[in-house]
Amino acid sequence: MYTKKLWIFLEFSEALHISRVDIVRKVSLEGEASDERRLYRVTVSLPLLHKEPGYFILYFCAAFFYPKTANYRKKRLIKKGVMNIMGFKSDIEIAQETTMAPITEIADKAGIDRKYLEQYGNYKAKIDYNLLREKEGEDGKLILVTAINPTPAGEGKTTTSVGLADGMSRLGKKVMVALREPSLGPVFGVKGGAAGGGYAQVVPMEDINLHFTGDFHAIGAANNLLAAMIDNHIFQGNALNIDPRKITWKRCVDMNDRQLRNVVDGLGGKTNGMPREDGYDITVASEIMAVLCLARDITDLKERLSKIIIGYTYGKIAEQKPVTAGDLNAQGAMAALLKDALKPNLVQTLEKTPAIVHGGPFANIAHGCNSVTATKMCLKLADYTITEAGFGADLGAEKFLDIKCRMAGLKPNAVVIVATVRALKYNGGVAKADLNNENLEALEKGMPNLLKHVSNITNVYKLPCVVAINAFPTDTEAELKLVEEKCKELGVNVVLSEVWAKGGEGGIALAEEVIRLCDQPNDFTYAYELEGSIEDKLNEIVQKIYGGSRVVLTANAQKQAKQLEALGFGNCPICMAKTQYSLTDDQTKLGAPTGFEVTVRNLKISAGAGFIVALTGDIMTMPGLPKVPAAERIDVDATGKITGLF
């Protein structure tokens, strides 16, 4: 008898699924319930069977007992198709056990001259942005990784991006992956990390998910310097005639803290400033983040900073004039704080593929997109650049293509749309607890969500794409076949991705298809032209990308649209802020609804970034923490070893 103890999270609703594995002789559960999840020690006694049946049992145990939540779910517990009999390894354990190459070797592999390298210890470094001016040669090909609308069943964009890069590397291609930096907001709040997972990660994992190289601190410092200069200007006589009631600039902090959404400051007497209403955003939702990500170089960075509108002057609406950071002479000091943060960060994957992790607005430009500088640097250094746009093709890819590509002159060669069978069944109405069961009817009902995203990429943007299905042990052959058939009707291939379990080996098939697509010509176009009214552009996004009938502007939004057009911002691209969970502005409407309206309640200009932000529904830029924040499970021992990041 072989006995194996596994520490695992087991959803309360799925605790009785053990009965399905009738070959398991004994299961003892120990532990106490904690809200939605339970932490159990599961003891599985296995008979002395031949190798394959034994692995079969372990495979099933992994399938049923690993977390199925959006935040902790993983595609597999099995490496190379079977579970490691030494025990289950978490993401951070896998990362900590790898032997990283010195960052100088990774730089050599990427073709980065040492003179451009600024090391932060042995395993991470910044790359001087002067490389872009001095490096000669043609740019490589650009591959965008996006996804369907996220669900509690999960997708795996970053994991797919990393695994695809490693798969290409195994095929002998010179490839780099460009990813965004994780924010402490999500890391400490919603999930414990955002650097890929399993055997498709970027490392050093702990550094990347925590302070890294201090980029976000610099962004927060620059943001709050501007806030301090605004309040000081008013305190010192207010020569610019700033109306304290019309200040649009918020402070920021790299942490979800709903208590700071709306505050009143300047209290306590005249020496403490002008009392006024104020508020905070999470750092990654700030305009400074967007500016950093879109800036081409230090000069462009300083120019964009100077254009930031912080508020308006006293007077009637027709008389009000915008006040900028340049009017306050803040741009120089802000740029000085951001000088090093503008330099992309070089790290590596578990398989030593060069990776750049830099920037990444969470709630602005691309919901998880890296900086222009990082993308262009990869294109200059590698034959293939894999980058990511967060959330879905309706939000992440739309912003990447309509904003970032337009501003930076980028043209993708291929797109990967990530999906899971489980997520599609969830879109078809299956409860999270029942997603393990084959359900072709629900899968077919949920398929329109994927097909809409495929159609957006191929028909609206006219780019070739492939659907990458993240493999789960519970996926059945019939379910996978159905997905493949439906996608082929649109002329798009489906590839099974097994990168979480197998690393680059599990991404070779996907890599081969992506390379094939990159060799095809495409007629890349945008979803809308910049000319025309703000409402017209909003309608085009709603109708073409979301599948709705029209946009509805509240009375307040109508006034804001007229004001922005009068100020000369009518030709700016639109950055839609809406729920990522649905194609509509109502997160409960799954699948691919049609004929719906999208309500825009607020329009504001991010003049430094160069786009208009349209707030829809009840979307927030300071979301707040869940009932059980990820921070509760993050810890460090006496030796400095961190646990709980995944």
Among this protein's residues, is 391 annotated catalytic?
yes
Q: Which entry of 391, 400, 569, 611 is annotated as an active-site residue?
A: 391
Among this protein's residues, is 9 annotated catalytic?
no
Among this protein's residues, is 157 annotated catalytic?
yes
What gap in Å lies between CA 356 and CA 347, rounded to an integer?
6
What gap in Å lies between CA 523 and CA 402, rounded to an integer?
14
Q: Which entry of 249, 472, 569, 611 is annotated as an active-site residue?
A: 472
Collapsed DSSP state (helix, strand, coil) of residue 30:
strand
To 10 degrees, what angle do helices 157-170 and 508-518 make? 80
Residues 6+ away with beta carbon under 8 Å from 320: 243, 246, 312, 313, 314
Q: What are phi and psi of 612, to 5 degrees?
A: -100, 130
Q: What are phi and psi of 265, to 5 degrees?
A: -125, 180
Q: What are phi and psi of 377, to 5 degrees?
A: -65, -40
Give the residue among 99, 10, 3, 113 at the shortest CA–CA distance from 58: 3
Cis peptide preceding 204, ω within 30 of 0: yes
Chain length of the chain: 646
What gap in Å lies between CA 263 and CA 254, rounded to an integer?
17
CB atoms within 10 A of CB 248: 15
HEC profile for 58-112? HHHHHHHHCCCCCCCCCCCCEECCEECCCCCCCHHHHHHHCCCCCHHHHHHHHCC
What gap in Å lies between CA 415 and CA 467, rounded to an integer?
9
Residues 6+ away with beta carbon under 8 Å from 609: 287, 290, 291, 294, 304, 364, 365, 575
CB 143 within 8 A of CB 514: yes
User: In the numeric block, which tokens belong to residue 35?
Assistant: 């809200």
Encode burial over 409-434: b for 16+ CB neighbours within 10 A, e otherwise.
ebebbbbbbbbbbbbbbbbbebebee
Among this protein's residues, is 374 annotated catalytic?
no
Lookup result for tokens 């409860």: 431
Q: What are phi and psi of 251, to 5 degrees?
A: -75, 175
Among this protein's residues, is 316 annotated catalytic?
no
Q: Which entry of 178, 330, 341, 363 is annotated as an active-site residue?
A: 363
Q: Which entry of 74, 79, 180, 302 is annotated as an active-site residue?
A: 180
Among this protein's residues, is 159 annotated catalytic?
yes
Lookup result for tokens 């194996």: 4
Q: Which entry of 500, 569, 611, 646 is annotated as an active-site residue?
A: 500
What gap in Å lies between CA 469 and CA 231, rounded to an integer?
51
End-to-end CA distance of the chain: 32
User: In the numeric block, which tokens belong to residue 76?
Assistant: 């597999």
Cα torsion 168, 169, 174, 180: sign: positive
CB 286 within 8 A of CB 219: yes
- Residues carrying an active site annotation: 157, 159, 180, 191, 363, 391, 472, 500
